[in-house]
């Protein structure tokens, strides 16, 4: 069993342990739905791109973890923040992926991205440690989770190039040509403090340089 299926099974067993039956898996297209626009259904990573299954982190945060921690909660806003989804590749590298169909230079978006990164890692760790005694721990370093994140976890922000500056997209393109990832300034602290890396991609670049090269 690969590491992706291991963590998927852990999340689903955690839900069952607390009385919830949940399929935590979805796909990148459906997960990328723009939830900020209630009047129009749109997807940032639409069906013109190569699709792939992924663990839907919002499902876990909203439909299970919130209710485990606050059993009488009736408010979605009680949920911990999370990235949209998670993938783990054949090398054991973890990827937290957030889709933003907005101008990512706005303060509200900056705050949201940062909050999601920290809170998401917190509740993933909380679940893993609760489940520790019932799983094979070879896929994760329970002795040093901080070091594990610094060595194996990457945060990817997928943004709409039409809603962001041409200069940002140009810098992204130039970085990729130079064999590097482009990180907006406010995301640098994520790679310095918590994760192995944190960077920004457009849907097209995400498909070309991540999805099409990804192997479970």
What is the C-alpha to C-alpha distance for residues 198 and 75, in angstroms, rounded to an integer? 30
Vertex 162 angle, CA 156 and 164, to 5°? 60
142-196 pLDDT, tens digit per residue, is 999 999 999 999 999 999 999 999 999 999 999 999 999 999 999 999 999 999 9
Quick check: 64 pLDDT over 90? yes
For 55-66, what is the mean pLDDT? 98
**Above pLDDT 90, what percent of the chain?**
94
What is the bridge-based pairing of β-strands 197-201 and 153-159? parallel
pLDDT for the residue 160: 97
pTM metric for this prediction = 0.96
- Distance CA(165)–CA(147), nearest Å, equals 35
């Amino acid at each position: 069993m690969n590491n992706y299926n291991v963590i998927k099974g852990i999340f689903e067993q955690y839900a069952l342990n607390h009385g919830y039956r949940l399929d935590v898996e979805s796909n990148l297209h459906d997960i990328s739905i723009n939830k900020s626009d209630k009047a129009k259904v749109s997807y940032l990573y639409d069906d013109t791109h190569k699709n792939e299954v992924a663990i839907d982190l919002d499902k876990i945060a909203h439909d299970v973890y919130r209710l485990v921690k606050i059993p009488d909660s009736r408010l979605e806003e009680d949920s911990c923040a999370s990235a949209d989804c998670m993938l783990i590749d054949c090398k054991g590298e973890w990827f937290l992926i957030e889709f933003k169909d907005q101008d990512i230079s706005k303060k509200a978006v900056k705050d949201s991205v940062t909050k999601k990164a920290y809170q998401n890692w917190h509740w993933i760790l909380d679940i893993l440690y609760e489940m520790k005694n019932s799983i094979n721990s070879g896929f994760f370093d329970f002795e040093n989770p901080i070091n594990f994140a610094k060595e194996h976890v990457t945060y990817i922000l997928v943004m709409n190039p039409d809603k962001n500056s041409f200069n940002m997209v140009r810098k992204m393109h130039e970085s990729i040509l130079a064999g590097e990832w482009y990180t907006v300034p406010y995301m640098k602290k994520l790679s310095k403090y918590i994760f192995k890396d944190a960077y920004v991609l457009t849907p097209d670049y995400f498909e070309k340089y991540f999805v099409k090269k990804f192997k479970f």
